[in-house]
Amino acid sequence: MERYSRQVRVTGIGEAGQQRLAQSRVLIVGCGALGTHLADALVRAGVGELVLVDRDIVEWSNLQRQVLFSEADAKAGTPKAIAAATRLREANSEVRILPHVADCSAAFLDELPGTLSLVLDGTDNFRTRYLLNDWCGRQRVPWIYGGAVGSEGAAMVMLPGGPCLRCLWPEPPAHTDVGNCETAGILAPTIAAVTAFQVAEALKLLVGHASTRGVFTCDVWRGSYSVLPLAQHPAADCPACSRREFPALHSAPHEAVTLCGRDAVQVDPGSSALDLTALHLRLLPVATDVMRTPHLLRFAADGCRFSVFPGGRALLFGVRDPLRARALYDRWIGGL
């Protein structure tokens, strides 16, 4: 217990709470700014098992705020989940860390083995957040929302039975109504403030204490921090809490999705495993910067940079239009 001696002394934790942490199993969705802060704190706190899922690779613009990555990761385009797991194992070898380089879908969540103690939101888009909301509601697993852009952030605990995200906003907000890191930027202290709330609430839930019932909001530039009151009961017309319909679990998956605030599109045709070695050999004479790594294949063509994963999923950088991204995918990957 020497590793956790200072934490055990905190009122509300104790040795019994530390044992409960060691028996917990937490899923973090997204290994970006929020996710890396969350993962680092929970691994150092001594959770038993941490499951990571992220679809992206490390880029240079990530290093300003995504605390588990290095310049070497950005240069190599290492998948974020893999790079994060490597650093986390160096911080605490006692924690079992399971990284997944994948898109978080209903199918992915359903295939996770075992029972989760908690789900933490480290994403950058509301489509995935509503998926988490509905899946956790159906499974009766608590989850903690978090979001940050510019100098402003928000976080909230969602417990089984509600109120949930749909109680506040029945449908995801339009993309035009929500700022992103590309248009508004992001300050590292904003991430730190939001994840401090998320981690504190996570520890409380995992050791068996009551969570804060309210919406945490902050503006670190203006020095504003508050917890807004939240209704204690779910909305009467909430499809998830009141009717248990969970719309996000029945939505058709998006084959091509624009990544938040970036000139990048993810294309996932849902095909079977792709032979990256064969694709590598075929691309060598016709593409540029072709590089095979243990986790993906990278190359450049038609003014775009491609990162292709074994399952056929690909990230296309330098394009915003999903239709053009799909056409480029068919030309360079699907058509080979």
According to DSSP, the β-strands at 224-229 and 256-258 are: unpaired
Neighbours of 139 (CB within 10 A): 15
CA–CA separation, 189 vs 65, rounded Å? 9
DSSP 8-class letter at 98: E
Residue 304 known to be catalytic: no
According to DSSP, the β-strands at 288-292 and 304-308 are: unpaired
Instruction: Give backbone dihedrals phi and psi of 325, rounded to 5 degrees, phi first.
Output: -60, -40
Q: Which residue has the tokens 């904003």?
A: 190
Q: Which residue has the tokens 């509601």?
A: 137
Is the alpha carbon torsion for 55, 57, 61, 63 positive or negative? positive
| CA angle, 277 then 298 then 333, to 5° | 65
Catalytic pick among 31, 104, 167, 181: 181
CA–CA separation, 161 vs 165, rounded Å? 12
According to DSSP, the β-strands at 25-29 and 49-54 are: parallel
According to DSSP, the β-strands at 314-317 and 264-267 are: antiparallel
First-last CA distance in the chain: 56
Question: Which active-site residues does the annotation give?
Answer: 181
